[in-house]
Chain A
Amino acid sequence: MTMLASVGAGFLGLLAAIGRLAMFTGQTLSHLLRPPFYGREFANALMQIGYFSLPVVGLTAFFTGGALALQIYSGGARFSAEAVVPQIVAIGMVRELGPVLVGLMIAARVTSSIAAEIATMKVTEQIDALVTLSTHPIKYLILPRVLAATLVMPILVAVGDIIGIYGGFLVSTERLGFNAAAYLQNTADFLTRLDIISSLAKGAVFGFIAALMGCYYGMNSDRGAMGVGRATKSSVVAAAILILAANFLLTEAFFSA
């Protein structure tokens, strides 16, 4: 009976958490079309989330693309299929690894930063100060970040896809002896419009999730350094899990037929 009660309490707690997150999401989206809009905060968020994430996205994609080429080449050699390296690198990067790895890197870099910043603002009463200065915290802090991440992530994913494919190209041509022109031709021929659309759509969804989780946990942080630390950790864990779950659902939606 006690075990049943604790399972029930846990389930109710989960439902309550989902409800709180859904309300927070709804509140954020409800400000999308209602002025005032804070253009400067939006531009700043674009720079922080987009431009300053380029190095980490580029390096992650480059090394992953190179490693992927090596793996496919050595795996393919078991059944004389080494020639499929360009196609598999392209499809692997664009459909899966590009969006997922960029999403996870953004969760690590941006979600944590947003959560820590907003949680610190909360514990130092800066959020209360915003309210007393007639500024809605969701409008000023949350919406610019969520909107910027949602819009800039497809671009980051596109950059990650291209650099990842380039990493595979470089390893294949310099180390594995592939012909450069043939490699590029195979890559271009094999990729479809749906592959690219799915990649960019995943980017937008993952960006939304990453920023929303940072904002949600930041705004709901407990007091003190421990509260800020817990909010930051929880935001990254939640963002990573939701990104992976969303990736599965989007893959199912795009490619199950």
Chain B
Amino acid sequence: MIDLASVHKSFGTNAVLRGVDLHVAKGESMVVIGGSGTGKSVLIKSVLGLIQPDSGTITVDGKDVNKGDRDAFLARFGMLFQGAALFDSLPVWQNVAFRLLRGSLKKPKDEARDIAIEKLRRVGLTADVVDRLPAELSGGMQKRVGLARAIAAEPEIIFFDEPTTGLDPIMAGVINDLIREIVTEMGATAVTITHDMTSVRAIADKIAMLHAGKIRWTGPVGDMDASGDPYVDQFIHGRATGPIEAVR
């Protein structure tokens, strides 16, 4: 479904992606792990066309992501951003129904609001938050609103960027369970980037480890603990010593 081949991206002299090859199959929940600053966010933003790679190809269902109808392409995606990225000036329900209020997926306002309320309920938020502004919500609630927005238009592919960063362990567990349930019930293809190993075990079907600008190891989540790769071992066990330098 999603294929990256020899993707390179540099920012000035900083080569972030140095030949990434990755395949994500339809309906699969792929989790990309790796240290901070290894280019995980750059990777998914490149798939969405938010960042243009310097070289290499990225295709979704065999079609180059940078060619063709952008609206139709993006309509297939939902994304949960690290900080939720809710629009400050819009109430919660309009954030969730944003895509349903304009563009090719536009629906009548009442219907869009009903869908937003239903999606908010799906992520465990009650109707009393729908007319609040994002700034009036806690971090965990904002994340859930972001999740509701990501699934509002029932996309085929959902990206989750550090879904549990900044949340307490209980709320992180709630978000992890929600992601797993939603991806399973929607049959969506999911790509999650995180360095939270609890999330990895809760969400992933497959894992890819990004290190030094390349995919270091990829395999089913069940094989992760026996990968035999010293980089993966050091990362998943959180050891300060090993082949990955602690100071980067």
Contact = CB atoms under 8 A, between A and B. Distances in A.
A128 interface: yes
Interface string A120-148: 11001110110111110000000000000
B99 A129 contact: no
Centre residue among A36, A38, A134 by max chain B CB count within 10 A: A134
B82 interface: yes
A126 to B, nearest CB: 5
Q: State which size class the interface on A falls in.
A: 10 to 19
B98 interface: yes
Given A36-B103, A38-B102, A131 B85 contact: no
B104 interface: yes
Contacts of A125: 81-83, 85
Nearest to B152: A133
Given A126-B87, A128-B50, A129-B87, A134 B104 contact: yes
A126 B85 contact: yes
A47 to B, nearest CB: 12
A121 B98 CA distance: 16
Interface of B is mostly: mixed
Contacts of A38: 102
A135 B75 CA distance: 10
Nearest to B161: A125
A132 B95 CA distance: 13
Interface string A232-246: 000000000000000
Contacts of B48: 131-132
Interface in B70-118: 70-71, 74-75, 77-79, 81-83, 85-88, 98-99, 102-105
B83 A134 contact: no
B164 to A, nearest CB: 17
A132 B79 contact: yes
Interface string B10-48: 000000000000000000000000000000000001001
A29 B70 CA distance: 20
Contacts of B88: 120-121, 126
A132 B105 CA distance: 13
A131 B44 CA distance: 14
B103 A132 contact: no
Given A36-B102, A134-B103, A128 B81 contact: yes
A222 to B, nearest CB: 13
Nearest to A126: B85
Contacts of B102: 36, 38, 135
Contacts of A131: 48-50, 74
A122 B17 CA distance: 23
A171 B74 CA distance: 62
Interface of A: 36, 38, 120-121, 124-126, 128-129, 131-135
Instruction: State the 3 A-B residue pairs at the shortest beta-carbon distance, nearest first.
Output: A129-B85, A125-B85, A134-B74
